[in-house]
Structure 1
Amino acid sequence: MDDERMQKLKKDSNPYLSSASSFLAMLAEIVQNDSNKTEEGCVTVAPIAFWTRLFAKFFLHVDNPSHDDLLFYVRKDPATHNDKPDIKVFRRESQRNPGLGDPAFDWTETVYLNLILQQLKYQLTCAICTRDENGVVVIHKKVSQEVYASPSRHDMEEKGPSAELSYPNIFFSIDSFDEIWTDLHVNEDEMVCVEIIAHDENKDFNSVIFIGSVGHTALHRAYSKKTEALTTANRFATFMSLGLYKPNSSQVQFVKMVGPNGNGYAEMAIDLYTKAKDRKAGDASSKSESSSKGDSRHYLTARTASSSAVESSLPTARFSSRDPTNTSLKTQLTYVSLPWHKIVLDLLKTYECPTECKKPALGP
């Protein structure tokens, strides 16, 4: 079969190959560069020259109104013998931007970091689900929210402005988690499912970069263990302070979950749902003449952490409906974190093998 026919077959089976979008054009060049490797593992284009050219072409010399004018540089100075990366941020037109090819910076990671932060949008969906007798996921309730990728994180407990570098982990934080996830209650036979879909500006390209679930039993076990530990600590502190210490009466606990196959992790605020608490919150809301539409429940918050495991990926989902019971847990996702290379690998796999990659389970 001649090369021209092979290329036509590839384009027919992969719609991304014929796209003219900037993001897909960049992926095409990256994949093409990989294919230029010889049997000895050498690359025909010098690595630094290739990545700096890519950076200049798609970020430094492009003024896209949909992109931020900030550029992110991954600094790994070999002279310091320190492998811990640092992120330098400059405006596109700044005279302080590092020179292209500066050996103090990792240009491969610099390109990929800007790709993740600048050229993609992310939709996070959190849902309450069960599996039917055929193993199909049944969605009882779901909420979707646009989230933003960041190489840094801040303390969700205090919701303060201070942030710390998290790179090489990329954080997708939900700062207003207590306002967004107001009606996601998981019962004893249900699970909480989380999915993040990355897409380009025109939604010509979509890739599932995170999908997992955790059941009621695991969440309740982690919640109970943390609550018991906190109660014991509060009693001891009260005793040692001769009653002067007043512990926080909140029952919300923050549970940290490891992602599927150990890739990434997520944190979820958990609280017991009771109809008595629901009625009390509803009465208080009525007295304060707050909005009568939507969920009027209110819970005090205190944040701790525990660990649990996220289950495997989910098959195609269908919808159903179910009311919360007295044994429900109120769940509020606070963030999902993934290493940058895991995001990039999923993007490249979706580009090269769109028919073989993971499909959205919770829908758009």
Structure 2
Amino acid sequence: MEATASTTTKGRCTCVSELLRRVEHLRKESTTNADDFTMIHNMEIRWAKLFMEFILGSAYCQASTCTALGDDMIWYVPMQKINTSFHLGSAPQLQVFRRQSKKQPAPCDSNVNWEETVCLNLILQQLDFFVTCAVCTKTAPQNLQIIRKNCQKVYPSPSRRRMDSKGEAEEITYPKIYFAIDGFEEVFNDIIVRDGECVCVELVVRDRQRTRESVTFLGSIRYEVLKQVYDAKASSTWGWAQRLVKDDKRRREFVRMRGPRGKGYAEMAVARVPGCGLETPQTERSQIDFPDLSQFESALGKRRLSEQNIAGVGNGPMGGRAAMTPSGVGTLPRGRRWQSEADTAGQYPEVEASSIDDELEEGVLSRLWSVRGFGQAWHWLREKKRAECTPLNAYLTYITLPWASTKVFKLSTFMRGFLFFSLFVFVGGIVSNGGWITEDKDIIGQDGPCNIERHDADELTQEEFIKRYAYSEPVIIYNVDNKKFQEKTKRAVMLDEWGQAEVVLNSANTYSYTRVPSTFASYLEDKLRPQNLETLGNQTLYLFGDIDQTIWKPLLDIYNKPRWILPGHLPALSFGLAGAGTGVPFHFHGPGFAEIIHGSKRWFLHPYEERPDFNPDQTTLQWYLNEYPKLPRDKKPLECLMKPGEVIYFPDKWWHATLNSETSVFISTFLSP
């Protein structure tokens, strides 16, 4: 079976996908469950064969260029006995050779752990890792909104730079894999957390064909915990070391989040946002004189800043056992790096990372969300606390995981990242959603409050809808299911089925006088693009409103209309598609629903009697960038960023404006008497 497997598709190398499939298959065959025990089979020969065919060679690849052979460094993991936290034996922990070196171990060498060797080379050379750090806040029952996020590609390493010695010395950390963020203070400078918010950290692994994906680390830490760590000055004894890294006189504290099920860590540096309140000193005045800082640092054996293990350098309890790089950069006892948490006790604060479910836990609030007016009162109180709190920068410095926790064996299951996708897919600076592409630089309006009441679709009855929302205030209804319609409105599907269908484009201004006929394919090719700041709304064309109900009936019939009805009103559907930054300025009309199918859209609303100040021919983007920031708090609109699976209801004659945060597919259900 293995010898005949194809690893080429239309000239494209699929060696890595085939290797992942075989790794999963071999792992399953390595154990057999029988009654009350598990049989473990020795599969080293087959692992060695896999290594020779896919890591060292390309036995089955017929592509012009084999992507599996792109790295010149080959890593080997020696076979060793393992006893709890300590590695026993006398062989070096890792060996690394040039691909063409003749000094490499022989095939099936019994001194090599071939299973770990295959997996380590796969992790280091053939998989992509992305870390996402996001600030989130709870906006409603079972809803966690991402306020801002930062996604970075990170690179796995079985070593880390030692901070307790001069130069660029590296220490081997395998079987721990490190994902360090170089220049973390610049990279995550926009991650600012306030009262009522939490910082979520997620690490996602994906194969380079983008067909397999899994979440390897996901946890969160609340503002209250970060503030407590910062105020406690838990790492103030490190003030002398902090000055070696930054001279902006800001104090930094460090906290480590223990990962899911106790596996791995994510470390965060916490600092007060510059210019917000009075800054406390980096450290208390010390009685110790430091005539020679480097000598003092060496004597204590401490590493600076975000290094995980801060115990002194020395032999572990197992004697002279040491891990070393083949180049002889230096040795460091393996035992010292695996002394559980004893070596960091009393130095770095450590917390158990909360899960996303923990952040959504209702507690005593669960019964109050259904009380009329509670949602708006809760949002008002939260915004007041946010405004009065001390904002903190939260810088992610690194994530570390045991190699087996990188989900190499579980990439057969596609598990989308909660933050990484956030209902869209991040791919190398590009955001994709159903094939509707938006460059990262064009995304707008992701940050901001959500102060509109929200309600679970499964719990909102017709009676409650009429009583609370139908005639009085807007509401966002989440957990709306329109998966079939989402599938039918993917870009490739729509081009194939509706490319030549006739459409009418409208101008994106308040009164929408302009009408331009087109075909769907022509609109995508010629008009669907991000909003130009120099272009007025009455000069911007996009698809919404005037579609031929007869021609588009097969598509519209698939859509599940909102089940809540307004007595004496009939529904009429209007399908739309628009580029990032487009939208309609403030206007009003009768009641209706609007749902996001792909992408995201920010809504702004005012009651009829509170007419907003706007130019009807300007674009929403111009208003959002130029006028919105100047509004006093009491003039701010109700607003929220809507995403797929959410529908907003707006009552009769409510002023509203829309801003497509990215390329978006949407549909409205207008209710007419």
Structure-2-length-normalised TM-score: 0.40
3-state DSSP of counterpart to 1:132: strand
Q: 1:253 to 1:260 in 2, by over 3 A?
A: same
3-state DSSP of counterpart to 2:146: strand
CA positional deviation for 1:115: 0.9
Q: 1:43 to 1:257 in 2, by over 3 A?
A: closer
3-state DSSP of counterpart to 1:149: coil
Matched, 1:59 2:55: yes
Q: 1:163 to 1:314 in 2, by over 3 A?
A: farther
Match of 1:76 in 2: 79
Match of 2:355 in 1: 312
**Contact kept? 1:191, 1:216, Cα under 8 Å:** yes
Q: 1:272 to 1:213 in 2, by over 3 A?
A: same
**Contact kept? 2:16, 2:68, Cα under 8 Å:** no
Match of 1:252 in 2: 252
What amino acid maps onto 2:43 in structure 1? Answer: P
Give structure 1 stretches of 5+ with no counterpart. Answer: 1-18, 235-246, 279-301
Q: 1:93 to 1:332 in 2, by over 3 A?
A: same
Match of 1:176 in 2: 183
Match of 1:303 in 2: 305
Which residues in structure 2 correspond to 1:122-201 (within 5 Å)? 122-155=129-162, 161-201=168-208
Matched, 1:348 2:409: yes
Match of 1:328 in 2: 391
CA positional deviation for 1:314: 6.0
**Contact kept? 2:219, 2:354, Cα under 8 Å:** yes
* Structure 2 CA distance for aligned equivalents of residues 84 and 140 of structure 1: 50
What amino acid maps onto 1:126 in structure 2? Answer: C
* Structure 2 CA distance for aligned equivalents of residues 186 and 359 of structure 1: 21
Q: 1:331 to 1:248 in 2, by over 3 A?
A: closer
What amino acid maps onto 1:226 in structure 2? Answer: K
Choose 1 or 2 for highest CA Rg: 2
Match of 2:262 in 1: 262
- Deviation string 1:8-53 (CA, Å, 9 cap, x unpaired) is xxxxxxxxxxx98322211222333345455666678x51210101
**Contact kept? 2:134, 2:146, Cα under 8 Å:** yes
Matched, 1:360 2:423: no
Q: 1:81 to 1:129 in 2, by over 3 A?
A: closer
**Contact kept? 1:156, 1:175, Cα under 8 Å:** no
* Structure 1 CA distance for aligned equivalents of residues 94 and 107 of structure 2: 16
CA positional deviation for 1:187: 0.4
* Structure 2 CA distance for aligned equivalents of residues 336 and 117 of structure 1: 15
Which deviates the most, 116-125 or 324-333? 324-333
What amino acid maps onto 1:309 in structure 2? Answer: E
Q: 1:175 to 1:39 in 2, by over 3 A?
A: closer
CA positional deviation for 1:190: 0.6
CA positional deviation for 1:148: 0.2
- Deviation string 1:68-97 (CA, Å, 9 cap, x unpaired) is 21011112356x952897111101110111
Higher helix share: 1
Per chain length, whose mean CA-contact separation is higher, i.e. which structure has more relative contact order (CA < 8 Å, sep 6+)?
A: 1
**Contact kept? 2:204, 2:420, Cα under 8 Å:** no
CA positional deviation for 1:340: 0.6
- Deviation string 1:123-166 (CA, Å, 9 cap, x unpaired) is 11111111222222211111111100000112479996222111
Matched, 1:216 2:228: no
Match of 2:210 in 1: 203
CA positional deviation for 1:223: 2.3
Match of 2:506 in 1: none
CA positional deviation for 1:337: 0.6
CA positional deviation for 1:277: 7.2
* Structure 1 CA distance for aligned equivalents of residues 248 and 23 of structure 2: 53
3-state DSSP of counterpart to 1:221: helix
In the alignment of these two chains, the number of paired residues is: 299
3-state DSSP of counterpart to 2:255: strand
Q: 1:22 to 1:325 in 2, by over 3 A?
A: farther
Match of 1:29 in 2: 22
3-state DSSP of counterpart to 1:191: strand
**Contact kept? 1:127, 1:362, Cα under 8 Å:** no
What amino acid maps onto 1:183 in structure 2? Answer: D
Structure-1-length-normalised TM-score: 0.71
Give structure 2 stretches of 5+ with no counterpart. Answer: 1-11, 59-65, 82-86, 241-246, 279-303, 307-347, 361-382, 427-673
**Contact kept? 2:77, 2:114, Cα under 8 Å:** yes
Q: 1:65 to 1:120 in 2, by over 3 A?
A: closer
Q: 1:42 to 1:258 in 2, by over 3 A?
A: closer
3-state DSSP of counterpart to 1:23: helix
